[in-house]
Each structure stands twice: as structure tokens, then as C-alpha cells.
Amino acid sequence: MRHHIAHGPTFTTLEFECAAGENVTAQPGAMLAMTPGFELTAQVGAQMQGSGISRAFRSMAVGESFFAAVYTAKRDGEQLTLAPEHMGDIHALELNSNNRYLIAGGAFLACTGKIQLNASYAGVKGLMTTRGLFLMKAEGEGQVFIASHGALVQRELAEGQRYVLDNRYIVAFTRDMSYETVKVASSLRHSFLSGEGFVNRFTGPGTIFYQTRARPSQGFLRGLFQMAT
């Protein structure tokens, strides 16, 4: 399978060329165009671990849709083009035994290969860090494609190096990276009056992906539970 990311960084699309039997799992509604030789199936919480209903609720907990669309090529040379619902960039995360990621709700676009996704409970720390009580834990062998709102920035942190990000801009980060929620100023009063409140401090080594625009607010309850539309 080959993929190509085109039209970035604003109106980015993700294009695949598949051999017979190869498949792509994507968010519902992400298909922009395709050749006619694909078999399309809808699966409940595809790629999530657990039983069918369990997978569905795990998908909803991390801000993704109840169903996933699986495109399987029936012959060689089939082409599939995906596009996220918002303007921004797309990036391929290469996963293997040494590379595992936590992904913010709403950032998952598609995956290929032997990828396992799961909901990782993060409690209040997760609520402050990525707009939800759960993060998407991605591991296995293959690729996960993430989509950002605005441009996507990759930052590498060395051992012990720290970096601070506003929670609305985080897209994904290395699973084993240390992170904590802290106030941006010396007092809560100055933190909130400055418009920042709490921020997230990451400590390397590891990799952070963040977006240059925040997704529009969807309200407190939606942000709390990250339920899919």
C-alpha cells in the first residue's frame, strides 16, 4: 500500500493506492473520492479492543464516531482519497514496538496495518490536557493518520527538556512522555485573568504534535465526555 498527503497544509487530503485485499480504516464521512473497486463495510468501533458494544463506547469516549468505515480493495491499483472535516494538516505516525502514541479526541483520521487502538483513562489530568477524560492509545505495527486544525507542528524534546502547551492545541504525543497540568503564572488569579488558566508541561524525551489553531468549543458537557456526533 502506498499513501500520499496532498494539498497541505490547509486543504490537505490523504490518498491511498491499494493492492487487492489491503484495507484502510477511516472515520465515517472522510471519503472524498475513490475508484469503484472497493468493498465498504461499517464496523462498530473498528480497531478498538474489546467486544462490539465495548469497542463502540471506547470509540465515543475518545471523541470518535460510533462506527468506522473499512475500505477493502477488491483488485490491485484501487485508489482512495480521504479528507478531514476541518481545514488543516495530516500526518502519518509510524507505529512499532518502540513508537506508541496518545492521541487527542477528534484527531484520528485513519489507520492501516495491524494497529490496536484503545481508550486510555486519564481522569482530570486528561480533561485538562486534551479536552476529554480519555485519550486514544495507539500501538501495534502500521500507520495512524492524524488530522489537525490549522498547521501541524512536530517538536522533539531531549532528555529532561520541558515544553509548555495550551491544552486546546495538543494533537498527539509519545505515550511514555511525562506530562502534568500546571498554572501558567505564579498565582491562579494571574493565570485566569491572563486568559490562559492551566497549561500542560511536557518533559522529554519524546515527541509532541500540536496544531496552530484551536478547534471551536463544543460546550462543557461535550468537552467533558468527548461524545461523537
- What was the pLDDT predicted at 62? 41
The radius of gyration computed from the CA coordinates of the chain, to the nearest angstrom, equals 18
Q: At which residue does the C-alpha cell 506530562 appear? A: 179
Given a cut of 80, whether residue 1 has pLDDT beyond it is: yes
Domain 2-215 has CATH 3.60.160.10: yes
Given a cut of 80, whether residue 197 has pLDDT beyond it is: no
178: amino acid identity, one letter? S
Closest CA to 167 of 128, 121, 219: 128
Given a cut of 90, whether residue 205 has pLDDT beyond it is: yes
- What was the pLDDT predicted at 122? 53
- What was the pLDDT predicted at 24? 97
- What was the pLDDT predicted at 196? 55
- What was the pLDDT predicted at 90? 97
- What was the pLDDT predicted at 182? 72
Q: What is the mean pLDDT of residues 145-165?
A: 95
- What was the pLDDT predicted at 22? 97
Q: At 171, is the pLDDT very low, low, confident or very high (cuts 50, 70, 90)?
A: very high
**3-class DSSP assignment, residue 86:** coil
Q: What is the mean pLDDT of residues 108-134?
A: 68
- The mean predicted confidence, pLDDT, of the chain is 80
Given a cut of 70, whether residue 95 has pLDDT beyond it is: yes
